[in-house]
């Protein structure tokens, strides 16, 4: 008998292999389960639909690995790891980025990054509040999740033409400099 994590991974690998040859929105549950060697009810015991499976893949393969780095204050290294893990599965994620609507890569990524940042900011801030009225932890987490998601999605759409380290540098630069600073440094 398979344990839950092994079945999840088996279904994920099946889904990713199928995505190499077909648009994600055209892949059926039956194709995923046939390739994985399990029956359809097994899929539904683990995931509601293929989009929940996609969320599981993004969370476990891209975002969960960065949590320990962020918790230890290694945000830059966490960013590099995000881009490196996306690059390892380039074929899959360049297909995922084409999804539109509520199951888009953008929506999934932003939701998870916001959760990670919200937890991180809350833990770091403790009982302290922002110096500016209305600047809540939720607003800060949403802002940086939007920014990070924008950088990730554009990098995927640019066919990953810059290295993970270059992308992490760009994100860190943009988020630590004002627009005036960036303009004044232009050559």
Region of poorest pLDDT, from 96-100, 127-131, 173-177: 127-131
CATH of residue 168: 1.10.357.10
> How does residue 3 score in pLDDT terms, banded at 50, 70 and 90?
low
Query: In terms of domains, do 23 and 99 share one?
Result: no
56 lies in some domain: no
| DSSP secondary structure letter of residue 48 | S
Structural domain containing residue 16: 1-47
CATH of residue 34: 1.10.10.60
Query: In terms of domains, do 150 and 99 share one?
Result: yes
In the numeric block, which tokens belong to residue 102?
Answer: 């509520």
Place of tokens 């919200």: 118
Provide the whole-model pTM. 0.85
108 lies in some domain: yes
Percent pLDDT > 70 in the chain is 98
Query: In terms of domains, do 157 and 94 share one?
Result: yes
Inter-residue contact 99 to 50 (CB < 8 Å): no
> How does residue 48 score in pLDDT terms, banded at 50, 70 and 90?
very high
CA gap 154, 143 in Å, rounded:
17
Strand, helix or coil for residue 126:
coil
- Helix/strand/coil percent split, the chain, to 5: 75, 0, 25
CA gap 29, 18 in Å, rounded:
11
Query: In terms of domains, do 162 and 80 share one?
Result: yes
Query: In terms of domains, do 86 and 32 share one?
Result: no
- Number of domains comprising the chain: 2
- Mean pLDDT computed over 168-180: 92
């Amino acid at each position: 008998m398979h344990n839950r994590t092994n079945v999840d991974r088996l279904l994920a690998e099946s889904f990713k292999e199928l995505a190499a040859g077909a648009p994600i929105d055209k892949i059926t549950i039956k194709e995923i389960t046939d390739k994985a060697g399990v029956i359809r009810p097994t899929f539904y015991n683990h995931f509601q639909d293929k989009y929940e499976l996609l969320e599981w893949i993004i969370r476990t393969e891209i975002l969960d690995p960065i949590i320990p780095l962020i918790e230890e204050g290694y945000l830059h290294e966490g960013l590099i790891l995000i881009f490196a893990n996306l690059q390892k599965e380039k074929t899959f994620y360049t297909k995922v980025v084409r999804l539109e609507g509520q199951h888009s890569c953008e929506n999934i990524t932003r939701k998870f990054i916001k959760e990670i940042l919200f937890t991180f900011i809350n833990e770091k801030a403790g009982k302290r509040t922002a110096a500016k009225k209305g600047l809540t932890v939720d607003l800060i987490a949403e802002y940086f999740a939007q920014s990070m998601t924008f950088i990730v999605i554009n990098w995927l759409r640019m066919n990953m033409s810059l290295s993970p380290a270059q992308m992490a540098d760009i994100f860190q630069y943009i988020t630590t400099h004002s627009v005036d600073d960036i303009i004044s440094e232009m050559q």
